[in-house]
Structure 1
Amino acid sequence: MDVAAKITSKGQVTVPKSVRDALGVKEGDMLVFRVKGHQASVAATPDLIDLAGVVGVPDDVRDKGWSEIKVRAWQARADRVAGRRATSD
């Protein structure tokens, strides 16, 4: 679908209804503009609240503070790297 829209003197563009409908966006939603060279594409961005629950949380870190989770993740990564080095020597 190709749809034209005019830029105002303030640099604003009204997103045509057919484009809003195709993207499934409404007032207050966010759009992202991706520019490559002299072309731009527009995409709807997901509402972060809609993503809640998409990634599972292991029981051992549930109800832990973010700083503790980061420390555990770094330690687990360090242990994996150290284990690989020990077996490859």
Structure 2
Amino acid sequence: MVTMMSTKLTKGGQTTVPKEVRTALGIADGARVYWSFDGRRAWVSAAPTDPLEVTGEEDFRIRLAEAKDDAAAGRVRDARAVSAELRARYNLA
């Protein structure tokens, strides 16, 4: 069952997450919330979606094509270099 609620959007683009939703999702004061958007609808959650989750064969093929395009365009970095950069930035061993 889906429950529909409404809130008002301020001029600054802010809205209030209804208490019933915050309670159900375990969202505490000051917590970060995550928005997802599929082109028609938006929804909020207490945890980010897993960007590595593949929802089916078509999704897999799309992601594979995007990865190939990124590699061909030079938008891919070596994982060891990224790891070293993060260790240096955060003073990790």
- If each structure's strand is expressed as a fraction of its own residues, which one has the higher value? 1
Q: Bigger relative contact order, structure 1 or 2, given CA contacts below 8 A and separation 6+?
A: 1
